[in-house]
Amino acid sequence: MIKKILPYLLLIPTFVIIALFIYYPAYESFSSSFYRISVFGNRKIFVGFQNYLNLFQDKDYINAISFTVVYTSITVVASIFISFFLALLLDQKVPGARIYRTLIFAPYAVSHAVAGALWSFLLNPVVGHVNYLSRILFGIQTQWLTTRPYAAYSLFFASIWKTLPFNVIFYLAALQSISSEVIEASIIDGASSWTRVWKVVFPLVSPITFYLVIMSIISSMFQSFAIIDVMTKGGPGGYTTNMIYKLFMDGFRFQKTGLAAAENVILFLIMMVVTVIYFTFAQKKVHYQ
């Protein structure tokens, strides 16, 4: 009897933590999205779906959705393909390969906030290295973090740079697991290097690509907050504000708790829909060895 109950008893602490820190906050967020809550949280007025209607009538929120789509699309696609090609290069047996791997993996060791601070310094219009080089080479000096569209470009660069090491690690492990006989067979069949990469190697690492795409989407949707907050703070004029940063601004800066709760629910529903669609259709393209 004890042996049957023991596994469930051991799982109780895990269930308690999940309930307290995941399910209960999710329930509170969903419930709060139907109320207008005072700044001090001592008064709640039921407003039904009014918070949701107000959001989709808000031009700033629509702009945040648009920027989120653009930001996520660019960072995910660019990081996947760049990391794949970097992994191909790192998989070659060349002198100093371990040094190159260490240098590329280094950004993975820093947090998103530190990455944002680093790029803020590099892109500083006065003392930044990027402007220093561009002024010497091209005679131009750009306000990277405070003007359109350069503020968005800056976030793209920083986010891709931060995401690359994570993707490269997985791709490199996948490439090293590919049988050399498969590559040799494609060479004997007369396949060019480009054909081998896209017709042989890339399909063989599709399970890793399948995993990395969804992880990159989650990262760009949620972990981008720190980079945006440090580098541009959603500016200029809300130009680089995405959905997670808009949620933070409404919930903590402007104390619009009910509205922020509605944004949280919308973000959850979007991620749920994207995940279901992705797993339904993309998994059919995955080739397991």
Q: Which residue ranges make up each domain of the chain?
A: 54-285
Tokens for 63, please give them: 């702009």
Query: Quick check: 64 and 242 in contact, CB under 8 A?
Result: yes
* Run of H or E including 108: none
User: What integer pLDDT is reported at residue 115 of this predicted model?
Assistant: 92
What is the pTM for the complete model shown? Answer: 0.90
CA distance 109 to 119: 15
Instruction: Check residue 288 and give its pLDDT.
Output: 66
pLDDT of 31: 93
Q: Report pLDDT for 187.
A: 79
What average pLDDT does range 172-188 have in this prediction?
83
Which architecture characterizes domain 54-285 according to CATH? Orthogonal Bundle (1.10)
pLDDT at 1: 67
Residue 153 vs residues 139, 143, 161, 275: alpha-carbon distances, Å: 20, 11, 12, 27
Q: For the chain, where are the E strands, in sequence order? A: 35-37, 44-46
pLDDT at position 289 over 80: no
